Each structure stands twice: as C-alpha cells, then as structure tokens.
Chains A and B, each alone.
Chain A
Amino acid sequence: AQSVTQPDIHITVSEGASLELRCNYSYGATPYLFWYVQSPGQGLQLLLKYFSGDTLVQGIKGFEAEFKRSQSSFNLRKPSVHWSDAAEYFCAVAVNSGGYQKVTFGTGTKLQVIP
C-alpha cells in the first residue's frame, strides 16, 4: 500500500526567508502527487500537482515542488515566505483504485511565520 511521510511536524521561518517542506512517498509505480494547504477555518486548497512530464511543478501562491524519483520525494518550496503562508501543509499521493483515484495523505506540517 502507498504511504506518505512528512518528517517535519512544525516548521518556523522568518517572513521573507525561503521555505522547503519535505515529503517522501512509498509506492511501486509512479504516483500522482499533490500538495494541499489548510489555513485556519478553511478547507484544503490544492497548491499544485504532479502527474507526469516536467518534474518541477509550479503552483499557486508562488509555490513549487520537485518530483525526484530516485529519492521518492516531492518537496515543496517557496523562495520568500509571507505571513499569510502560515498554515498546515499536506502532501498526498493518489493511486489507481478500481479505475478511480484514491488519495493518501501525510500527517501534515504546520508552518509558523515570524516577523
């Protein structure tokens, strides 16, 4: 069965600093990969997704992620963090289940942004 590991439960960065959130997955074939963000009181919002092709994926809000097959990783990056980026971030993998998409999430990383 597929699994997703987000090794960092909490991360604190200063506003303007760069950010990298780690994600490792376990799956026998090439998965479909996602990053979602949940701001307080909000639902999960899709930041970006990778299905195939270019391994560097651009998303909304200035985020990007790089798929590295050799490392089974899909780390999320942002060059300069804004205070509004404080939220919880979830990495997810989707696999084919009976012809439909079945999503497995990581445990999430809470991002705190300090002035």
Chain B
Amino acid sequence: EAGVTQFPSHSVIEKGQTVTLRCDPISGHDNLYWYRRVMGKEIKFLLHFVKESKQDESGMPNNRFLAERTGGTYSTLKVQPAELEDSGVYFCASSRRGTSGSHKTLTDTQYFGPGTRLTVL
C-alpha cells in the first residue's frame, strides 16, 4: 500500500508569486489534514477535510491560503501571493474513514507524507 505522497518536495519562489502544493492521501482514507512547520517552531494544524468537505479550517493563517479536495481524493494547497513568512515545511496526513465522534475516528492514526519544503525569497 502506497503511503501519503506530496509534490513537490521542494519549492523556491519569490515573494508575490503563487505556489500550489499537492497531497495524495492513502487510497481509501477519507480524512486529509494539512499542517505547517515554520523553522524552529512546532508543527501546526492548518485544516482538515472529510472527503471533499472542509471539516475544520481554523488553522489557516489568512485568505492567501486556499485548500481544495475535489472529488475527495487528492488535495491542493495554494498560496497566492506568497509572503516571506510562508516559508516552512508543509505536511499532509491522512487517516481512514470513521464516523464523527466514534472511538474509531478519535483514535485513528494519521499517516504523514514527507512534506514540501517551501522557501519564499
């Protein structure tokens, strides 16, 4: 079974440009999460999809960030326009289906991808 994959592995762009990050979750996983780690800081939650719906986007920094998951499969995270403080490593994670509030969902393991390192110059 393939793990969570992310593309690209590295991206270097200039301030003001647009970048789109992609995440392919493990096949059959309904839950998809985006996280970000700014250098030296903790890994922070950005948002959570259940299939194609945004369940929780409370961690999104501002409206320059747009996440989509059309069809409930892969997801993209677009940053437009990018700013210097957006630099960091963006992680994607997925977990299998589960009913909201069920013990299975609350205790399910999130499987992480290798991350995309974004550098904004």
Give residues in A with beta carbon < 8 Å to B: 4, 32, 36, 41-46, 49, 51, 90, 94, 96-108
Contacts and interface: CB of A to CB of B under 8 A. Distances in A.
A90 B44 CA distance: 12
Given A98-B55, A98-B100, A46 B106 contact: no
A96 B110 CA distance: 14
Interface stretch (B11-19, B80-88, B111-119): B111-119
Given A32-B106, A49-B109, A100-B106, A43 B115 contact: yes
B55 to A, nearest CB: 6
A101 B42 contact: no
A106 B42 CA distance: 5
B48 interface: yes
Contacts of B101: 96, 99
B95 interface: yes
A79 to B, nearest CB: 25
Given A99-B100, A107-B41, 14 more contacts: A36-B112, A42-B114, A43-B3, A46-B110, A97-B56, A98-B56, A101-B95, A101-B107, A102-B56, A103-B35, A104-B42, A105-B42, A105-B43, A106-B42
Contacts of A96: 101, 106
Interface of B: 3-4, 31, 33, 35, 40-45, 48, 50, 55-56, 91, 93, 95, 100-102, 105-115
A103 to B, nearest CB: 6
Contacts of A44: 43, 91, 93, 112
Contacts, number: 70
A101 B91 contact: no
A90 B26 CA distance: 22
Contacts of A4: 42
Contact of B106 (A90, A101, A104, A107): A101
Query: Which of A46, A101, A102 has the most chain B CB atoms closer than 10 A to its own CB?
Result: A101
Contacts of A101: 95, 105-108, 110
Given A100-B31, A102-B56, A106-B42, A41 B114 contact: yes
A100 B109 contact: no
